[in-house]
Structure 1
Amino acid sequence: MLRDLDKKDTAILKGLAISAIVFHNYFHIVSPVRENEFTFDPARFSVFLQTVVHPSMAIQALFAFYGHLGVQIFIFVSAYGLAKSHWNDTSSWSSFMWTRVKKLYPMFGLALLFWALLAAIFVGPIWLIQDAGPGLLLLLAGVSNIVPGVGLPIVGPWWFVPFIIQFYAIWPMLRKLTVKFGWPGLVALSVICFLMTFAAEPILAHWSINPALNPIGRMRIFCLGIIAARYPIRINAYLAIPALAILLLGSEYASIARLSSLAFAVFSLWLYVKTRSWLRRFRVLEIIGGYSLAIFLVNGFIRVPFIAFANTPLSQLALGCASAVVTFAISAFFHYLLEPAPQRLTSPEAQAAWPSSEPAPEMGWN
């Protein structure tokens, strides 16, 4: 059952998801393939099919088109982790929010400082202050995704910061809803939010606000995470195979595409459970999962110098891997900087620069 997943499982899931995201963020720029994530165009699937049949471009195409779906696993794990670790939390809303913010913002602040230093050197401090500054302030305030015309920030993956902060803000409400109405209440909420998103999209488009950047637009994955953590559900092949079919059909048909994120989460969780005993042997996946927050925050700009030289399929693969390695190394260093000194001195794993086996609490990924 899904509620039997332990902290090692969630760390491995994060490791797999962040690896897919890192390679997606690189390959969807250097290859002709584009994903259907925040907007939908059936022609993109045609380009994917035309590209993936070439052996030299198959890997790039797969990550470019489907790699972004790794975000759905992080959304699932965020809700799953809170439902496991904070279900009986009696602290006030402000206290809960403070515990979340103080775990997220030190790492985000370090990544932001690193990016700002690079931007000031290569673009100029005036641009950093005048052009990027207002958007960054809205991002830090956790509202950039609901401000007209702002949406995606200057570093694309950072859209997840206000997204998860807003999820934290509504977490106590989701918990109370579950306690009162059980899993049917969560299913009803998912359907309501789905219909609200569908109805609001044309209206919000005039304001350049994308519901996919807000928790309401992805409530079905949050609810799946809570249900998986609190109730004895099991995903079998009779659910997984139709989910895979929906994912594939949703790549071309807009009417089905709205269900693709949930379908991917269902199929991926089934596949993980089936391969769980094998995947748990790979310590490196757990390590990468432990660094996932930092990786998510820095990969968006670390990839930039590797893109200009990716002119052939072989160079794309080689430089994509090099970009990932550099991203992982910098993320490990950031974790070392923020890890309390006593823990570094007393933990043999920490002395070897491994992350703790306790999954990182930042962004609810615990």
Structure 2
Amino acid sequence: MTVAERESHTAKRSPLRKLIAFATNEPVLSVLVVALIALQCLHPRPWLTLPGLVDWQTVLTLAGLLILTKAIELSGFLIWLAHRVIHSIHSERALAFLLIGLAAVLSMLLTNDVALFVVVPLALSLHELTPLPLKRLVIFIALSVNAGSILTPLGNPQNLFLWQTSGVSFGGFVWGLAPLCAALMAMLYVMAAASFRAKPLDLSKDTEAHRVDRVLVGVAVLLFVAFVLLADSHHAGIGLAGVMAGFLIWRREIVLKIDWLLLLIFVFMFIVLRSVAALPWVHATVGQLGLATPLRAFAAGAILSQGISNVPAAIMLAEFTKDWRALAYGVSVGGFGIAIGSLANLIAVRLSKERGMWLPFHLYAVPFWLIGGAVGGWLLLHI
């Protein structure tokens, strides 16, 4: 084969290679697309009816939050704040406590993904200054964003979905999830106290200046509060239109850099999972589980999350139970255990760039899931 023939052959194969590369990089979206095609072949629905399966209020709210959290991230404020805080730390255990708390608080306000993109790189940069048990720190950061994000509707996608579909107020949602969040965070700190030593640390070399765009962070915070108030009153579309238009005119790169594929994944999740839930045999099988009782709805969320992750589990099970609190408890606990239980686990491990993470991760996460499940079930029934 001549050079020209090889180049021609490679060019002909390049679209297929691009498709394979995309499927490898975006496995969740690829699986959803294949599932939708299969469903349309086996149990076809009119294509024009599929958008009606999407909870657009949730998608619009998520889009607005992605833009605003990206603005706060690009302002540099979070990294500046994190590096300022660590200078009061003098031991390995104290650093672990701080990173766990920082990750939890950020996840409550800015989603668990944003918290990971701030705190994991911070841990990596600190590891360059002084030796740290990096694998263990990343594992606890992952557990922390899962536990902390439970508290608010902004913390993670499943909370956002349940908040929007339940009709409960922002404050009512926080009040309902506060006991579980507090219990899991207490468990996490007890486990951290036993897992990290009081070994002295020297972080005095962390003298690099971190620039903050004060105007951007100020505008983003104000818009964040306004957007949450609009979303709470079920006017997320109006809020998104204003936020998107403003940033497209002022800082277009913020809108362009958000995770648009995540929004597309959400759209496909609604279509695929609600189509699956409507299948007669699926509806009959899940219906026999008796999810009308809180404990069964909780157990279903905690267990199903281990197989399909907690966001899809919340969307699917919401078709069978209206007990939003029991379902929220279940899928929140379901974020622990097997790594796939929460996409945040996969993101944290990926950001760490450390090999051999999966075994130690599960040695911590699976027992945490089992104990958290027992604690969550007791709280659901007694508080």
Q: TM-score, structure 1 length as denominator?
A: 0.33
Q: TM-score, structure 2 length as denominator?
A: 0.32
Flag the structure with larger Rg: 2
